[in-house]
């Protein structure tokens, strides 16, 4: 044993090398996690984004607000059509909710029939937000190109998910074409957004082509407003 080195004591050079390897492994693990999330299908990302949203800060008066986003009051949702391997579905709405992120809004509608082993979901994303000046009663708009992309002044996309149960999706795709119409809501400050999403020839998770598919949906919402602090704070319906 060399002079000055006690039994069981790791030399500083070896200790530094071990710490360096641990840090590298941690960075690799973090990168793998990020890449894994980025590579998740759109429907899984939508579900991941919703995690935590079901637990609002109970100290806040309704409507509850969340850090960096505000809720949008959504009601009277409808959904029907053919998506994935779910043919001719209608009704069965069990979830309708919306969020505003300041310049971008998203509305999620889920429908299911457990006895018939089917579930579908649409996520309507509005780049520009549901308070955009283009969305007024009587407006009729069309959009092509899939995903809403930050930087576009106004764009609407529809993500569709379908499977045998909610969360058990075997179809996950963004519509190729979206038609939107806006109507006056049931009371002042509300509007109805009707949409028809069309997939020209999508594939399921197994790569099987499904042919042309169309889903129609609608929901009534209270137009988001912004308080002095910049927080989306729509009054409750």
Q: How far from 73 is each of 39, 43, 170, 204, 220, CA to CA, in Å?
A: 31, 22, 30, 32, 8
Q: Is the peptide bond before 63 cis (omega within 30 degrees of 0)?
A: yes
CATH 3.40.50 fits 44-222, yes or no: no
- Tell me the domain boundaries of the chain: 9-39, 44-222
- Sorting pLDDT into bands at 50, 70 and 90, what band is 12? low
Report DSSP state, residue 114. Answer: G
Q: In this predicted model, which residue has the larger pLDDT, 228 or 227?
A: 227
- Sorting pLDDT into bands at 50, 70 and 90, what band is 24? low
Q: Is the pLDDT of residue 25 over 80?
A: no
pLDDT of residue 21: 56
pLDDT, tens digit, 9 for 90 and up, residues 72-93: 999 999 999 999 999 999 999 9
pLDDT, tens digit, 9 for 90 and up, residues 101-156: 888 999 999 999 999 999 999 999 999 999 999 999 999 999 998 776 666 788 99
pLDDT, tens digit, 9 for 90 and up, residues 196-224: 999 999 999 999 999 999 999 999 999 98
Share of the chain above pLDDT 90, in %: 58
pLDDT of residue 111: 96
Interior/surface letters 20-45, b for 16+ CB within 10 angstroms, e for the rest: eeeeeeeeeeeeeeeeeeeeeebbeb
pTM to 2 decimal places: 0.72
Q: In this predicted model, which residue has the larger pLDDT, 19 or 147?
A: 147
pLDDT of residue 234: 44
Do 161 and 121 form a contact (C-beta atoms < 8 A)?
yes
């Amino acid at each position: 044993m060399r002079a000055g080195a006690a039994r069981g004591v790791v030399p500083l050079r070896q200790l530094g090398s071990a710490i360096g390897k641990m840090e590298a492994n941690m960075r690799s693990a973090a990168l793998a996690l990020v890449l894994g999330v980025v590579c998740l299908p759109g429907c899984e990302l939508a579900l991941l984004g919703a995690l935590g949203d079901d637990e609002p800060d109970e100290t806040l008066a309704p409507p509850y607000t969340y850090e960096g986003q505000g809720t949008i009051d959504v009601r009277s949702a409808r959904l029907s059509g053919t998506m994935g391997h779910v043919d001719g579905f209608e009704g069965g709405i069990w979830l309708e909710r919306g969020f505003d992120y300041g310049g971008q809004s998203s509305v999620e509608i889920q429908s299911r029939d457990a006895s018939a082993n089917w579930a579908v979901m649409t996520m309507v994303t509005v780049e520009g937000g549901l308070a955009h000046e283009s969305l007024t009663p009587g407006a009729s708009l069309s959009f092509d190109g899939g995903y809403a992309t930050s930087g576009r002044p106004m764009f609407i996309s529809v993500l569709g998910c379908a499977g045998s149960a909610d969360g058990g999706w075997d179809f996950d795709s963004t519509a190729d074409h979206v038609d939107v119409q806006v109507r006056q809501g049931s009371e002042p400050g509300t509007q109805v957004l009707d949409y028809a999403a069309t997939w020209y020839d999508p594939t399921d998770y197994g790569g099987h082509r499904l042919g042309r598919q169309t889903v129609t949906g609608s929901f009534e919402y209270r137009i988001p407003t912004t308080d002095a602090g910049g927080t989306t704070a729509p009054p409750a319906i």
